[in-house]
Amino acid sequence: VVGGLIFVKLGGSVITDKKKPFTERRRLIKSLAEEIYSSHRHSDFNLIIGHGGGSYPHTPAGRYQTHKGIVGDESTLGIALVQDAASRLNRIIVSYLLEAGEKAISVQPSSALVASNGRIVSWDLATIRLMLKLGLVPVTYGDVGLDQVKGCCILSTEEIFCYLARHLKPDRIIIGTDVDGVYEGDPKKDKDAKKIPIITPKNAVNLIHLLGGAGGLDVTGGMRTKVATLLDLVREVDVECEVLNIARRGVLEKALKGERGIGTIIRRE
């Protein structure tokens, strides 16, 4: 692909209020859509956007324990409700991207892929490849997954990006969240926690146990799982990832325009 391929995640912690069920942050979503467009309009990189679910799908996912699989009579109803919640948030994100000028097009994981014990095992990416070829911007998202072992699971945007990265080989992965990077402790609980500039599989051995879970309701595990998933990815695919705070105005735009090291870089070496 000419100009390269960048994956961008809009964290559920940013686009929703994770402490309030079904509460999106429209003003922030609008300005993020504008930041994406203003860095993308005069450049030739391809973009895949993924967004977290925040307080949309995590509300039914928590109630029906969807991440644990089929655990009771109501689990199947849970699958349908999680898909509904995730896709409703997706329509909101896509509509703001369209309004900003992006040729955004929705990609629904739950109806397209198969998981096995929470990991994606098959997903035909022919459609996404054609979208990219046409200059469309696929917008995928954390969703419920149909799982051939446990019936259902929750797929984080990071898990989805890992599968896509193995097959599409992006040049960069930008993980936008609501903290300035990965710290030696949860920065929301420990004001003295130090930011870690670069994480590699080598230095991660001494760091990973310091990382904590998510803010608010989130069944996918928060920062520790995020970093562990990205470390697994960079071991396998040579791609530079960066976790940064896109709730701060202008940060996403700067990163998309090529600035590195605003947050925490995760890479192979």
Ligand X SMILES: Nc1ncnc2c1ncn2[C@@H]1O[C@H](COP(=O)(O)OP(=O)(O)O)[C@@H](O)[C@H]1O
Report, in Å, the least distance between residue 55 CB and ligand X. Answer: 10
Helical H segments across the chain, by residue range: 12-15, 26-40, 58-64, 75-100, 126-133, 157-168, 201-204, 222-236, 251-256
Report, in Å, the least distance between residue 63 CB and ligand X. Answer: 18
Task: Retrieve residue 123's tokens.
Answer: 């997903």
Task: Tell me: does residue 21 bind ligand X (CB under 6 A).
Answer: no
In contact, 81 and 39? CB cutoff 8 Å: no
Chain residues 34-53 in contact with ligand X, contact rule CB under 6 A: 52
Q: Buried b / exposed e across 33-50, counting CB within 10 Å, b at 16+?
A: bbbbbebbeeeebbbbbb
Q: What is the spatial distance between Cα 10 and Cα 27, in angstroms, rounded to a whole number?
A: 14
Task: Tell me: does residue 214 bind ligand X (CB under 6 A).
Answer: yes
Among 5, 8, 11, 256, binds ligand X (CB under 6 A): 11
Provide DSSP, 143-173: EEEEETTTEEEEE-HHHHHHHHHHHH--SEE
- Nearest-CB residue to ligand X? 11
- Contacts of residue 125, defined as CB under 8 A and 6 or more positions apart, other chains included, come to 164, 167, 168
Task: Tell me: does residue 187 bind ligand X (CB under 6 A).
Answer: yes
**Listed residue (69, 222, 213) closest to 151, CA to CA:** 69
Report, in Å, the least distance between residue 207 CB and ligand X. Answer: 9
- Point out which span in 85-93, 101-109, 181-189, 233-241 binds ligand X (CB under 6 A): 181-189
R_g over Cα of the chain: 17
**Listed residue (152, 141, 159) closest to 24, CA to CA:** 141
Number of residues that bind ligand X (CB under 6 A): 22
Task: Kindly tell me which of 21 and 212 has the beta carbon lying closer to ligand X.
Answer: 212
- Point out which span in 29-37, 65-73, 217-225, 233-241 binds ligand X (CB under 6 A): 217-225
Among 5, 8, 13, 242, binds ligand X (CB under 6 A): 13
- Point out which span in 19-27, 41-49, 120-128, 210-218 binds ligand X (CB under 6 A): 210-218
By rule CB under 6 A, what string of x and - marks binding of each residue 53-72 to ligand X?
A: -x------------------
Task: Tell me: does residue 211 bind ligand X (CB under 6 A).
Answer: yes
- The owner of tokens 């070496």 is 269
Task: Tell me: does residue 185 bind ligand X (CB under 6 A).
Answer: yes
Q: Which residues bind ligand X (CB under 6 A)?
A: 11-13, 52, 54, 177-179, 182-183, 185-188, 211-215, 218, 222-223
